[in-house]
Amino acid sequence: MSATTPHPHIDVKEFHPRAHEALHNPQIRQNFRKAMDGLMSKRKAAFEGWDLETLRELGANVRLRALANLPDLLEQLEQKLTENGIKVHWALDGDEACRIVRDICVAREAKSVIKGKSMVSEEMELNHFLEGEGIEALESDLGEYIVQLANETPSHIIMPAIHKNTGEISELMHEKTGTDLSHDVEYLTAAARQQLREKFMNADVGVSGVNFAVAETGTLCLVENEGNGRMTTTVPPCHIAVTGIEKVVPNLADVSALLALLTRSATGQHITTYFNMISSPRKADELDGPEEVHLVLVDNGRSVIYQDDELLDTLRCIRCGACMNHCPVYTRVGGHTYGTTYPGPIGKILMPHLIGLDEGRHLPSASSLCGACGEVCPVKIPIPDLLVRLRRESVDGDKLHPAKVRGHGAKRTPLEAAIWKFWSWMHSRPGIYRTGTRFASRFRKLQPARAGAWTDFRTAPKLAGKTLHQQLRERGK
Amino acid sequence: MADPIKVYPSKPDKVYFFGTCLIDMFYPDAGMAGIQLLEREGIEVIFPQDQTCCGQPAFTSGYHDEARSVARAQLDLFPEDWPIVVPSGSCGGMMRKHYPDLFKDTADEVKAAGVAGRVWELTDFLLNVCHIKLDDLGEPTTVAMHTSCSARREMGVAEVGPKLLGQLNNVTLVEQARAEECCGFGGTFAVRHPEISGAMVEEKVETLVDTGARAFVTTDCGCLMNINGFAEKNRHPIAGRHILSFLWERTNDDKGDGQ
């Protein structure tokens, strides 16, 4: 199995059946609606009194500046980290990244790994890989822990278990860990904390993600709320951070703007509970911290995206999840419907690069292009424009601008292509258009009451007796 | 996304009117209402009879060769330097925001940019260029308003509709929950993903009905067709109109003229 494919149990192409299932599951509908409504209002409140547009502009510029110099910054980052005593590894894809993590574990004779939250490790399917190698990998983020207990994948990049309500979580913990059934969130959290503490104390290796890697100082920044990130990166004797190559920023000062945007966009928090800055292993005079620290820089298709002026914008993403929280499609179908590591709007534009448009052909079309995602994106990624770009590639639909994403043209069908060709022919010829529409209006009584999928949910639109063209011609226009 | 700063032209003597294909075939009264509102402001309206469609359906479906061919057929229809007004945020957004990209690196690049720069969403034009003053002649009524996503986010005119309705003394405007959320139309999205689109319009209709208003107005005929179609099929007690039809009817003595 390639690590660039999604979770082994989920077929991306089955988007429609999963959407059907989710839409007919009142619990899922209710859980997501409630959660997203809450997140939207929290974000709104968190930005009150801020000049949001100026801040977004700043955030976008920080990311654009970083990406413009990405190769140089990565070199600078490697040099600074090495100077600081952190070992840097480069991985071309998820498989290679997994092997690097394994080799470090093997060298330390590690049997158990405790993990902080990391979407790149989901992308690599690291847990799955380590299990196959006989190494236990336990998630320590509460949401990830719940999802792992349920043998599921995260349904959101910030709140992995957001698809479950308290009752469902209580039953799951009862069944898997013997925790008493309870609707008391405090109690359930305390129980999970108890279960995880023991693992932290005994883990041989801690694996974490990275929110920002600062080239100037060689600092790995990690944002989190529960303290598990701090435990993961300090308690075990060895810490391995994994990150996509795009997470690097030039200067420490850049982090402040991005952090202000990240937490407010994600959960509506002004600041997170913990902000970790890791710049070296434990020093001789220090009492705690790991003996060795590694950073695995994962490419996994990113350098291919980087080559394209438009698609490059995808790499600005700081993984806040605001686009999901505001997406009317994500809200209705939930994260698992997408069948991809990254769900929602960002997933629709990122995943086709990672898995190809042949696998992910349904993703770019599963949007009404309402623009809510682009409107809230803290770094101004033009998500709707990129969706249209990928739709074009999925039907191979532009001779002027050739496609570049693997699997382009996979969604094209002869019938659909013929329909658009006819549509284009008719609408490029005013005389034929006027005759056709006049004819349709005159014989509108013959219009069928059913019009495909449209009339499964709605009545058919009614043609007017006279087109606007006709009415105005009669007025002498 | 919306322009950071909009520079409105001064009120012109003449405008080009681009009617949109949905208005042409399904809602010509909205087009007529728009034209009559402009004429009442003393503006001469030129309607090039050779217009068809802005090309958006093919554009958003990924068929850009086909979209470009249709869009190109519109480019020569507006030779004078007059504003081009469009009674739709969606088609207006296509022409203003996407024509330059669609014709990038082609012989029509400059012409497309020239057209794009003159395109205005009609309600925005009436309010901010014509500085229209509306005198309400209708009975007291309550309406909700649904602003299309393209009018709201692409053309940045979300505040225009409420301001125009606010000029009508006998109209009470009520806001529904999640007013900024998409109704689920999305052009071909409604057909490609009918169930998701259906779930979206279902919730949109529910929130509109929950306002207690029995009528709503909207900036775009796609939303109108979607919301009205769902409400009608499921017998919900709400029905919508294009905002231009509504504005014209309430401010015009001769009610038969616009039909």
Q: Name the E strands within B1-116.
A: 14-17, 44-46, 84-86
Whole-angstrom distance, CA of residue A82 vs CA of residue A90: 13
Residue A266's alpha-carbon distances to A157, A163, A194, A337, B181, in angstroms, are 10, 16, 27, 21, 19
Nearest Cα residue to A93 out of A303, A392, A256: A303
Q: Is the dihedral of CA A227, A93, A90, A99 positive or negative?
A: positive
CA angle A168-A171-A172, nearest 5°? 85
Q: Which of B47, B50, B63 to mutate to test the interface with A (most CBs of A within 10 A)?
A: B63
Determine contact, residues A355/A12, Cβ cutoff 8 Å: yes
- pLDDT value of residue A169: 96
Can you read off the two tokens belonging to residue A12? 């991306």
Contact A388 B60 (CB under 8 A): yes
Does residue B2 have a pLDDT over 90? no
In B, residues 43-72, which contact A (CB 8 Å cutoff)?
45-47, 49-53, 55, 57-70, 72
Nearest Cα residue to A40 out of A402, A328, A234, A398: A328
- pLDDT value of residue A399: 87
CATH architecture of B141-251: 3-Layer(aba) Sandwich (3.40)
Q: Which of B3, B15, B61 to mutate to test the interface with A (most CBs of A within 10 A)?
A: B61
Does residue B140 have a pLDDT over 90? yes
pLDDT bracket for residue B181 (50, 70, 90):
very high
**What is the mean pLDDT of the segment spanning B154-168?**
97
**What is the mean pLDDT of the segment spanning B221-249?**
97
Contact A457 B229 (CB under 8 A): yes
Superfamily of domain A12-303: NagB/RpiA/CoA transferase-like (3.40.50.10420)
**A429 contacts on B by Cβ (under 8 Å):** 73
Nearest Cα residue to A357 out of A319, A397, A417, A298: A397
Task: Give per-residue pLDDT as tens, B222-232.
Answer: 999 999 999 99
- pLDDT value of residue A452: 85
Whole-angstrom distance, CA of residue A400 vs CA of residue B53: 21
The distance of B229 to chain A (nearest Cα, Å) reads: 4
With residue A414 as reference, give the H or E element that holds it: helix A414-427
- pLDDT value of residue A447: 82
Better pLDDT: B23 or A449: B23
Q: Which of A424, A425, A444, A475 to mutate to test the interface with B (most CBs of B within 10 A)?
A: A424
Does residue B191 have a pLDDT over 50? yes
Contact B72 A471 (CB under 8 A): no
All structural domains of chain A with their residue ranges: 12-303, 414-474
All structural domains of chain B with their residue ranges: 14-128, 141-251
pTM score, whole prediction: 0.95
- pLDDT value of residue A13: 79
Contact B73 A471 (CB under 8 A): no
**What's chain B's Rg over C-alpha atoms?**
18
Determine contact, residues A392/A403, Cβ cutoff 8 Å: yes
Q: Name the E strands within B55-169.
A: 84-86, 119-121, 141-146
In B, residues 84-143, which contact A (CB 8 Å cutoff)?
101, 105-106
DSSP string of A128-170?
A: HHHHHTT-EEEE-SHHHHHHHHTT---SSSS-TTTTS-HHHHH
Amino acid identity, position B250: R
Low-confidence ranges of chain A (pLDDT < 70): 1-10
Amino acid identity, position A446: L
DSSP string of B178-228?
A: TTTS--S-TTTHHHHSHHHHHHHHHHHHHHHHHT--SEEEES-HHHHHHHH
In B, residues 2-21, which contact A (CB 8 Å cutoff)?
4, 19, 21
Task: Give per-residue pLDDT as tens, B65-84.
Answer: 999 999 999 999 999 999 99
Sheet holding B171-174, edge to edge: B171-174, B141-146, B215-218, B239-242
